[in-house]
């Protein structure tokens, strides 16, 4: 009866979809194949969430409505990264051709301190910044999604949230991958009663095919749908968050929650050949590094050297090495640190940084320092395009898979562990091995640096709009770089560009991480001969590097491309 009454408030097609998702084994509804649409396409890490987004068009919505509805649905159907308790970045192309970006990255609580995660010797205290209540920054997702909806959407908050509420309250069938990842983290969840109650059946693991209901999360979603941001940052939900902090020694207060605001920023933009790149500015490092690396590679003639050849891989690795060195020194929250964005994305600066590039020799990372001058693993991505030309690249995260693993008792959502993305101390690596310095030091109310790289590429002469992004921690930026180069330089279709094997280098540690089919043995041996010494094939259980769910519009033809590496799905209408 509850499901029937809710269905009366949404379309008949949505009723059918929800009924199927609740009643059928997931294998019947999950797919990672590309889809087409005449009105909208949505690609995300959850076929259920993608369908929710696409159905907003039937309600009279646009791509922004679809992205927001998908984002809230992912908090229900993709809990390892979809969230209410995290944050994200959204790059939006509006139908008139203008671009905006919403920053709803988490912030450090008012009681946070510079050295809160290190001992007296300046060494990281194990797990403190990743597995405890102290690891949580003030969440931004709810504020950001609502602000995007109110400024650029056309539906009400209640309308876009109705599907997520139904999925949380009435449940959905667990896929094999979701059941497996949940069970892999049972020990983490079971440290506290709320996590054990949410992710197990009275201590017994869930199985694929089980119906998973989340009543506390449904109640939280209802408060947001009714009261907007006040339904999360004040009232009952805020009380539950602060009570959770008190139980576990966390820092987030009522004042921290009440004062949180998302920020509208100008995307970083640049030309690469005939294409325009529009990406997220700081506190994301992704857009800056993407453009910086493209600038370094502009003269490398990758078309001639070919995809993942020795020469192509060598050039890309050397560009990545230099860009990530700059990241460690120069990137941070622009509201607290003067980030030299214009300098970093200047083609002339890229030429200076790449001037010592040797065609035949790797540059050891110990020899690569950040540029100087005188002044003068879990996240999720959504790509949406509608027929009017609105497009959204939205990347959201709670940092590591399932965040801190701590569920807010009575509220049903996980806390992020984004405080680990600050530089806890100079040159001390975080969970992804990334280094940082004063630009990314912990300061109250400051946003931590991120690698999230939601990106939109356009070529107005060809009616081309390409939306992409990825999860993957430090590998996000290089994943997006490779997808972009695959389309622009290597002439791949968007589907081929997303599926092509990937590799990654981030300056420190000095090693090449790669999918097992990224290079043949001859290329690996040739790279070793050039001085690239350390190679790390990723474990097969990871599924691959990144998950670049993408969408494209070519002269009005819409297609969505979920990444085949994971349990993803696209929907079209």
**Would you call 209 exposed, middle or buried from its count of C-beta atoms within 10 A (0-12, 13-18, 19+)?**
middle
Q: What is the pLDDT of residue 23?
A: 41
Nearest to 431 by CA among 147, 47, 131, 19: 131
Tokens encoding 212: 């998973």
Q: What is the pLDDT of residue 328?
A: 87
Tokens encoding 191: 């440290």
What are the φ/ψ torsions at residue 504 (nearest 5 degrees)? Answer: -155, 140
Residues 22 and 76: their CA atoms lie apart, in Å, by: 13
Q: What is the pLDDT of residue 429?
A: 66
More confident residue, 33 or 477: 477
- Asked whether residue 432 carries a pLDDT value surpassing 80, the answer given is no
Residue ranges per domain, the chain?
Answer: 2-86+100-263+384-422, 265-379+451-550
Average pLDDT score over the chain: 90
CA distances from residue 386 to 57, 270, 321 in whole angstroms, order as listed: 8, 24, 37
Mean predicted confidence (pLDDT) in 540-546: 82
Q: What is the pLDDT of residue 377?
A: 54
Mean predicted confidence (pLDDT) in 3-26: 41
Q: What is the pLDDT of residue 3?
A: 34
**Three-state DSSP class for residue 236:** helix
pLDDT level of residue 294 (50, 70, 90 thresholds): very high
Per DSSP bridges, beta strands 550-554 and 557-561 are: antiparallel
The string of pLDDT tens digits covering residues 60-82 is 999 999 999 999 999 999 999 99
Q: Nearest 5 degrees, angle CA 498-CA 264-CA 386? A: 45
pLDDT level of residue 423 (50, 70, 90 thresholds): confident
Mean predicted confidence (pLDDT) in 307-320: 96
Mean predicted confidence (pLDDT) in 278-296: 97
Residues 381 and 565: their CA atoms lie apart, in Å, by: 13
396 Cβ neighbours under 8 A, 6+ residues apart? 71, 74, 81, 82, 83, 86, 87, 88, 89, 141, 379, 380, 381, 382
Q: What is the pLDDT of residue 273?
A: 93
Nearest to 447 by CA among 101, 108, 147: 108
Alpha helices in 42-126 (DSSP H): 47-58, 63-77
pTM of the model: 0.92
Are residues 379 and 81 in contact, defined by beta-carbon separation less than 8 angstroms? yes
Q: Spell out where 80-146 has E strands.
A: 87-93, 99-104
**CATH topology assigned to domain 265-379+451-550:** Serum Albumin; Chain A, Domain 1 (1.10.246)
Q: What is the pLDDT of residue 367?
A: 72
The percent of residues above 90 in pLDDT, for the chain, comes to 81
Tokens encoding 84: 């209410």
Residues 430 and 427: their CA atoms lie apart, in Å, by: 9
* SS (HEC) of 14-39: HHHHHHHHHHCCHHHCCCCCCEEECC
Residues 196 and 203: their CA atoms lie apart, in Å, by: 6
**Would you call 61 exposed, middle or buried from its count of C-beta atoms within 10 A (0-12, 13-18, 19+)?**
buried
Q: Reply yes or no: is the peptide bond before residue 509 cis, omega within 30 of 0.
A: yes
- DSSP class of residue 434 equals -
- Asked whether residue 307 carries a pLDDT value surpassing 90, the answer given is yes
Q: What is the pLDDT of residue 30?
A: 38
Residues 423 and 421: their CA atoms lie apart, in Å, by: 7
Torsion of CA 275, 276, 277, 280, to 10 degrees: -160
The string of pLDDT tens digits covering residues 351-395 is 999 999 999 998 887 776 555 433 335 789 999 999 999 999 999
CA dihedral sign of residues 17, 207, 45, 557: negative
Torsion of CA 477, 482, 485, 487, to 10 degrees: -110
Residues 561 and 31: their CA atoms lie apart, in Å, by: 11
**Would you call 28 exposed, middle or buried from its count of C-beta atoms within 10 A (0-12, 13-18, 19+)?**
exposed
pLDDT level of residue 24 (50, 70, 90 thresholds): very low
- Asked whether residue 416 carries a pLDDT value surpassing 60, the answer given is yes
Alpha helices in 298-413 (DSSP H): 302-305, 310-330, 341-344, 347-353
- DSSP class of residue 362 equals -
529 Cβ neighbours under 8 A, 6+ residues apart? none
Q: What is the pLDDT of residue 362?
A: 84
- Residues, the chain, total? 573
Catalytic residue numbers, as ranges = 379
Report residue 215 CA to chain centroid gap: 26
Tokens encoding 146: 């609502």
- DSSP class of residue 109 equals -
Q: What is the pLDDT of residue 415?
A: 98
Are residues 239 and 225 in contact, defined by beta-carbon separation less than 8 angstroms? no
pLDDT level of residue 437 (50, 70, 90 thresholds): confident
Per DSSP bridges, beta strands 535-537 and 512-514 are: parallel
Nearest to 289 by CA among 450, 397, 109: 450
Q: Reply yes or no: is the peptide bond before residue 283 cis, omega within 30 of 0.
A: yes
Mean predicted confidence (pLDDT) in 192-206: 96
pLDDT level of residue 29 (50, 70, 90 thresholds): very low
- Asked whether residue 247 carries a pLDDT value surpassing 90, the answer given is yes
Query: Angle, nearest 10°, between helix axes 63-77 and 47-58?
Result: 150
- DSSP class of residue 125 equals P
424 Cβ neighbours under 8 A, 6+ residues apart? 115, 116, 117, 118, 124, 129, 430, 442
Tokens encoding 40: 């909208």
């Amino acid at each position: 009866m509850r499901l029937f009454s809710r269905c009366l408030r949404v379309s008949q097609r949505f009723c059918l979809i929800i009924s199927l998702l609740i009643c059928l084994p997931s294998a019947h509804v999950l797919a990672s194949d590309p889809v087409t649409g005449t009105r909208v396409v949505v690609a995300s890490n959850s076929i259920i969430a993608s369908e929710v987004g696409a159905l907003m068009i039937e309600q009279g919505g646009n791509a922004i409505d679809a992205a927001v509805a998908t984002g809230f649905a992912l908090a229900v159907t993709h809990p390892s990264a979809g969230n209410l308790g995290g944050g994200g970045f959204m790059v939006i192309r509006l139908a008139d051709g203008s671009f905006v970006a919403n920053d709803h990255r988490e912030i450090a609580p008012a009681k946070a301190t510079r050295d809160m995660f290190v001992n007296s010797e300046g060494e990281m205290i194990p797990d403190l910044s990743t597995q405890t209540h102290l690891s949580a920054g003030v969440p931004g997702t709810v504020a950001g999604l609502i602000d995007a909806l109110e400024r650029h959407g056309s539906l009400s908050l209640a309308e876009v949230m109705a599907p997520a509420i139904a999925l949380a309250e009435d449940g959905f069938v667990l896929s094999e991958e979701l059941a497996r990842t949940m069970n892999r983290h049972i020990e983490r969840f079971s440290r506290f009663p709320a996590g054990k109650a949410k992710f197990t059946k009275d201590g017994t693991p869930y199985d694929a095919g089980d119906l998973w209901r989340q009543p506390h999360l449904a109640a939280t979603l209802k408060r947001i749908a009714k009261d907007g941001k006040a339904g999360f940052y004040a009232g009952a939900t805020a009380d539950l968050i602060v009570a959770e902090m008190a139980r576990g020694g966390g820092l987030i207060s009522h004042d921290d929650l009440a004062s949180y605001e998302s920020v509208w920023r100008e995307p970083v933009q640049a030309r690469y050949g005939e294409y325009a790149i529009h990406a997220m500015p700081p506190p994301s490092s992704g857009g800056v590094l993407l453009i910086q690396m493209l600038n370094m590679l502009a003269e490398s003639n990758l078309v001639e050297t070919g995809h993942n050849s020795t020469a192509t891989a060598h050039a890309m690795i050397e560009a990545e090495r230099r860009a990530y060195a700059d990241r460690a020194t120069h990137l941070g929250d622009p509201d607290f640190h003067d980030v030299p964005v214009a300098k970093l994305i200047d083609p002339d600066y890229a030429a200076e940084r790449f001037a010592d590039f040797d065609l035949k020799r790797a540059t050891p990372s110990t020899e690569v320092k950040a540029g100087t001058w005188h002044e003068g693993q879990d996240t999720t991505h959504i790509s949406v395009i509608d027929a009017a030309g609105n497009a959204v690249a939205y990347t959201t995260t709670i940092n590591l898979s399932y965040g801190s693993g701590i569920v807010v008792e009575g509220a049903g959502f996980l806390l992020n562990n984004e405080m680990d993305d600050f530089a806890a101390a100079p040159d001390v690596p975080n969970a992804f091995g990334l280094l940082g310095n004063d630009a990314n030091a912990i300061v109250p109310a400051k946003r931590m640096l991120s690698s999230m790289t939601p990106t939109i590429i356009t070529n107005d002469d060809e009616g081309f709009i390409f939306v992409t992004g990825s999860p993957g921690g430090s590998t996000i930026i290089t994943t997006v770089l490779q997808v972009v180069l695959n389309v622009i330089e290597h002439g791949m279709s968007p589907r081929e560009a997303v599926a092509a094997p990937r590799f990654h280098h981030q300056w420190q540690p000095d090693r090449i991480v790669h999918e097992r089919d990224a290079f043949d043995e001859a290329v690996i041996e040739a790279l070793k001969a050039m001085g690239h010494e350390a190679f790390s094939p990723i474990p097969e259980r990871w599924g691959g590097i990144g998950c670049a769910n993408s969408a494209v519009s070519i002269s009005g033809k819409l297609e969505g491309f979920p990444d085949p590496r994971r349990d993803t799905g696209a929907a079209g209408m």
